[in-house]
Structure formats: structure tokens, C-alpha cells
Amino acid sequence: MKKVIALTFAAMAFFSCSKKDANFQYSVEQFYDLEILRYKVDGFEALSTQQKALVYYLSEASLYGRDILYDQNCRYNLTIRRALEQIYLNYPNKDEEQFQLMEKYLKRVWFSNGIHHHYSEDKFLPECSQEWLTQAAQQCGVELSDEVLSVIFDPAVMAKRMTQQDGVDLVLGSAGNYYGEGVTQAEAEAWYAAHKDLSAEPKWIGLNSQLVKENGQIVERTYKVGGLYSAAIEKVVENLKKALEYAENDQQKLVIEKLIEYNETGDLQTFNEYCIAWVKDLESRVDFVNGFTETYSDPLGITGTWEAMVNFKDMDATKRTEIISANAQWFEDHSTTDQKYKKEEVKGVSAKVITAAMLAGDCYPATPIGINLPNANWIRKEYGSKSVTIDNLTSAYSEAAKGNGFNEEFMIDDAIRDLYNRYGSMCGDLHTDLHECVGHGSGKLMPGISKESLKEHASTIEEARADLFGLYYMADPKLVELGLLPSAEAYKAFYYQQMMNGLMTQLVRIEPGKDVEEAHMRNRQLIAMWVYRHADNKEVEIVEKDGKHYLQVNDYEGLRALYGELLKEIQRITSEGDYAAAKQMVEDYAVKVDQPLHQEILARYEGLHLAPYKGFINPVYTPVFDADGKITDVTIDYTESYIDQHLRYSRDYSPLPNIN
């Protein structure tokens, strides 16, 4: 998949890492449906001074893009954010209830990088009154026009950041700022069609620009130095130039140089060269993403949303994936799949595990837990791609979830909870590694068959295949032998959790009465439901205790055999491109929800008062300079609060005007 994996809570709460720190405060605060966490940057202190300095300047280059994202999300966002911040800082009576409601709204605006929910994309309204906000603004000398007030308070104005509704003009119906006022979907599509690039190395036309209407004509405004968002991009470039001085090697130097050139010229051919250089840089310990990247927020899927992340390789965890990858052929040979669907020669992928050091733009505060770039298919085909998982973020999710009552509510007894506390997180990591390093790469297709043969069910089936490959091997003594698991019991924690999640607890993300839609959720339910319905010897069942339903596993070895049986069939469907069977499989097991059970799960979950969406506070990096202005060290601090961080970013990293 060519996208950053943006999973929300239910999946994340169960992945994790072995690095724990009882004294570190992972969970900071909660408001509305949001929870604010901190992440720990393990290993930062052990980096070389050069690497620390590189992280520092790349982080600075990241933070300067923040305003760009606000403006891309909606052209009123910067005006509104700044007005609220001025009121927040200057209003005299901070004890007033109305003030506190405004503060809550501002915290939400920061979280969403604007006035629309980061996930649902619906506009949210403040709970303070329009009258109060109007007078507070006057009192603080802040200008709030009627137009801006209606954008804040009128539910009908700019109601959706992005619409995907049938029959609605996707461009006019979206509040996002990828297209100027009055540009229609038809006009934008016609412009893109006319400017399509058909060269051998196609350029991603429109990736870094806004289309606006001037005198009835569509005009492209390119994001670059001297173009749209120039003031912010200049600061990005300035810090990339400083980072260049600390680059680890020539290849990384080339990456940074190409990115600087691209920011200065906006030339998409240079962007291609940058992507290729970036894919080829496998040696550097420090790595980063910085710029207009994912295109999900543009209703036409063309223009990139600004995002940034600085990270460095986690050496221990990467070793783990190398062991798996080195044994790829053994895994292929010993799986339950039919001999004719096995690869004679299989190559494992050694997934890189990274530690995030700075999150920014569309990766902040809500963030992906994996990166898979670049997005241009022809570059992926010719030069490959980099796929990474971000262990310190998944670890933060999991640590923050400890003791929140979830497992106490949904797991059947102390025995399984104990097992899960001991092994759950390491099993989660290991399963992700098996899925990525050997799962997707396993098996072969019959002549003439492609993965697309399964059409709309291709990704559900493919994810199920990779998951099952991992599930089947989780219980294999080989993992203990390879030193990847400490005990032959450990896998049981993961089996229990997989079944509980797929059959029951992931339903907390589904609204009452709705079906399961998202491919990863479908895949998890497909596996759990198929196994549950085929458990003829009661290997696994759902039992009732004091009016509540629980998953009970009676035979873990039997459960493994069922996973193996399903793996065999899913591999057959994939290898043969059996669309009818794939469709049947998805419809029978993956989509429909047991209504009474769903209601029960939702009620029990609501009683826990947990926030479904999480986001992060970044650490603060402070450089130490010598007399010549050279960095001699960079210190890291985790104590900044959510509010202080956003106010500081708005004060120190906010070069753009209100209207761009």
C-alpha cells in the first residue's frame, strides 16, 4: 500500500514495544473525543553530536510548515486560530465558564489543525456563545468580522473539510483550500487533464499547487519560495541548509540538496529526483519526511498535504526484522498453503523500525504509525520504496492504555490479563513484523492472475493473508528457537486478543446499525468470524457471565490449526484470483455486525469514558553552541504542556499571513 498507515485507536491500543518506563507520563489529558499523549525518544542521547544536530535542524524545518497545513485545511483557519490565541492570552477573567469553553474549542482547533475534525472532517462548533466571543474579542482588541464569526458558528457554512458525497461538486462542497473560491470540480478536472504529464518519468502535476480562478481563468499557484506559502517555505529551506552541514553521508546530502532545490523552484522533475535519492538512502541513521506528501485531503486526490516527521533507526528492533527476513524461505516452506502456491525462492523484506523524534504538519498531533513512501508508482516500481514502522509511537499508545480499564472490562479473567500484560505488546510487535517482512511477500500467483483480480476485495483479502501468515507462525516453536519470543506460552496472549478484537471490541469504532467498511477492520473480523464459526470442537466460544459476553479460548493449538486452514484457503483464493470466493468470504464473515452484541459492547465501552482519538506532544530540543556557532550537544525535554507547546509554535514558527 502506498500510503502512510493511519490507524486509529482500536488497532493501536494493542501493538506495542518492549521498552517501558514506569515513571514516564504517557497520557497527559483528555477533552472531547481526544486524548493527548507524550512519546519517548529512546536512544536520542546515544546519537552522535552530528546526528543530534541533524535531528535538531530537521525538526526546525518541520515545525515551520505548521501554518501551511492550517491554511490548506481551510482558508479561515489561521485567522481563527490567531484570534482565539490572542483572546486566550489577553482575556482578563480566565475563571469565567465561557472563557473555559473557548479554551476547550481552541485546544480542539490545535488538535485538528483547524476548525474541522481531523478524522470525520466535519466542522465542530464552539460551546461558548457567539455574543461572548464577540465581546471578548473587542475587549482584547482582536478583530473578528461577521464573515469569520459565521464560519465559526454557523453549522451550514463550510460544514465539511472534504465531501465525498455523490452528486455534490466535490470541490465546491469542500472547505479545504486546495482550490480557490468559486473553482468547480469540472474546471479543476479539465485543468488537470489538459496539463497531464505523459513523459516516461511522469511528473505529479498539481502535487504542490493550488488552483484559483482569476478573471474567469484557472491559474496555478505553486507552493514554493516566491510562490504560495513562500514565507513558511523560506524558513523550511533555511533550516534544511543548516541540516545539510550535519548530513551523515553524501547520499543524504543529495537528498537534502534536492529537497531545497525543489522548495526553491517548485519543479516537479526535481521532486522526482529528490524521491529517488531518498529511496536510495538506506545507510543514514537519521531520516525524515518534509513537504507536500499525501493526497487524501484534496477531494480530487491530486495535491499533497504538508507533513513532516524526523526519525532515526531503532537498531535493536531492526535486528528483529532481519532475523525474520533471513528465515523467509523456512516460513514459506512450512506454511499450510498448497505446494503449488508456494514461492520456490522467497525474499524477506527487512522492515526498518524507527523512532520518531519530531512530528509536524499532517503528522501532528494525530499521527501515523507507519510510513510507506514515495507515492509515485513509477518510482516505486523502478527504485523501490521505504516502509517503516514507528515503534516508540505504538509503544506510547500501548503504555497509555494500560490501566484504563479496557482489558478489565473485556478480557474474561485474570489469567489471560496476566498473560497479556506480560507478552501482549511484544507479540503485537512481532506479529506486525511477520505480517510486513514475510506475510505480504509469501505465496505466488498463477499465470495470468494479478492481485487486482479480486477487485474491490483485494485489499481485505491481502491484509487477511498477511495477518494469517503471522498468526499461524506466532504459535510456532521456531520463534522461541530464533530468540524472538521468550516462552512457548506467549502467543496465547495474542491469539486471545486477536479473536476478542475481531469478534467484539473493534466494534466500538462502528456506529450503531452500520456495517464494517474499512479494509483492515474487515480483515480482522473476517479472520475471527470464520474461525469462530468453524470452531466445531469449541476451540473458541463466546460465553455469558453476569449478563455480559466474553470470548473464551478452550484450545489454543486447535485455534492455530483453524488459522492455518483459513490461510490455506485465502492463499488459494489469492493465487487463483478467485473473485467469487473472495466476495463470498467477505460478505459472509467480514461485513455484518451482530446488533445486540454491538449494542452491548458500545455500552460497556462508553462506561469506560475513553477517548477514541489520540495525538501527541512533541519533546523540546535545545541546542548547545560553542563559540563558533557549532552545535556541541542537543538536550531533550518532555515537560512542555499541550497548551504551552501550541502557543509557542504559534509564536515562534508562524511566518504566514492570515490570508494566503
Residues that bind Zn ion (CB under 5 A): 463, 466
Q: Cβ closer to Zn ion: 49 or 459?
A: 459
Phi/psi for 616 (5° steps) reads -120, 155
Q: Cβ closer to Zn ion: 12 or 83?
A: 12
Q: Alpha carbon of 195 to those of 181, 202, 204, 257: distances in Å? A: 21, 12, 10, 27
Grid coordinates 516460513 are at which residue? Answer: 331
CA atoms within 13 A on the CB side of 280: 17
Write down the least CB distance from residue 523 to Zn ion, Å. 9
188: its cell numbers: 479543476
587: its cell numbers: 460478505
Q: Cβ closer to Zn ion: 519 or 535?
A: 519
Write down the least CB distance from residue 389 to Zn ion, Å. 11
* SS3 label, residue 180: coil
DSSP 198-222: -SSS---TTTTEEEEEETTEEEEEE
Alpha-carbon gap, residue 391 to 518, rounded angstroms: 23
Q: Alpha carbon of 507 to those of 269, 369, 431, 439, 596: distances in Å? A: 45, 21, 21, 25, 12
361: its cell numbers: 504538519
Write down the least CB distance from residue 390 to Zn ion, Å. 15
Q: Cβ closer to Zn ion: 247 or 466?
A: 466
Q: Cβ closer to Zn ion: 320 or 549?
A: 320
59 touches 242 (CB < 8 A): no
Q: Cβ closer to Zn ion: 463 or 578?
A: 463
Write down the least CB distance from residue 443 to Zn ion, Å. 14
Grid coordinates 482558508 are at which residue? Answer: 75
Write down the least CB distance from residue 129 to Zn ion, Å. 47
646 touches 110 (CB < 8 A): yes
473: its cell numbers: 507462525
The number of residues making up the chain comes to 660
Query: Among 135, 136, 181, which Cα is nearest to 158's?
Result: 181
300 touches 280 (CB < 8 A): no
Residue number with the smallest Cβ distance to Zn ion: 466
Q: Cβ closer to Zn ion: 236 or 390?
A: 390
Q: Cβ closer to Zn ion: 442 or 645?
A: 442
Alpha-carbon gap, residue 16 to 393, rounded angstroms: 8
Write down the least CB distance from residue 272 to Zn ion, Å. 26
Q: Cβ closer to Zn ion: 314 or 463?
A: 463
314 touches 332 (CB < 8 A): no
- Is the peptide bond preceding residue 365 cis, with omega within 30 degrees of 0? yes
Query: Among 348, 352, 342, which Cα is nearest to 327's?
Result: 348
Write down the least CB distance from residue 458 to Zn ion, Å. 12
Write down the least CB distance from residue 276 to Zn ion, Å. 25
The set of residues, in sequence order, having a beta carbon less than 8 Å from that of 415 and lying 6+ positions away, is none
Question: Rg of the chain's alpha carbons, rounded to an integer?
Answer: 25
Write down the least CB distance from residue 467 to Zn ion, Å. 7
Write down the least CB distance from residue 484 to Zn ion, Å. 19
Q: Cβ closer to Zn ion: 346 or 480?
A: 346
Alpha-carbon gap, residue 370 to 389, rounded angstroms: 4
Q: Cβ closer to Zn ion: 265 or 459?
A: 459
Write down the least CB distance from residue 15 to Zn ion, Å. 13
